[in-house]
Chain A
Amino acid sequence: MTRWAKLLFGVAGLALLLGAATFFVEKSYADKAVLVQRVQIDSAASGLFGESEPTPIGSPQLMIIDDPKAFLTSGDPNGARLVDDAYLQEKGIYPLQLKTVEFTAGTVRLAAFGIGGLLAVLGWFAGRRRARKPEPSSNPV
Chain B
Amino acid sequence: MSTLEIKDLHVSIEDKEILKGVNLTLNTNEVHAIMGPNGTGKSTLASAIMGHPKYEVTSGEILLDGENVLEMEVDERAQAGLFLAMQYPSEIAGVTNADFLRSAINARREEGDEISIMKFIKQLDKTMDFLEMPEEMGQRYLNEGFSGGEKKRNEILQLMMIKPKFAVLDEIDSGLDIDALKIVSKGINEMRGEGFGCLMITHYQRLLNYITPDHVHVMMQGKVVKSGGSELAQRLEAEGYDWIKEELGIKDTNAVVEEA
Instruction: Say if A and B assemble together.
Output: no
Q: Spell out A's residues near B (CB within 8 Å).
A: none
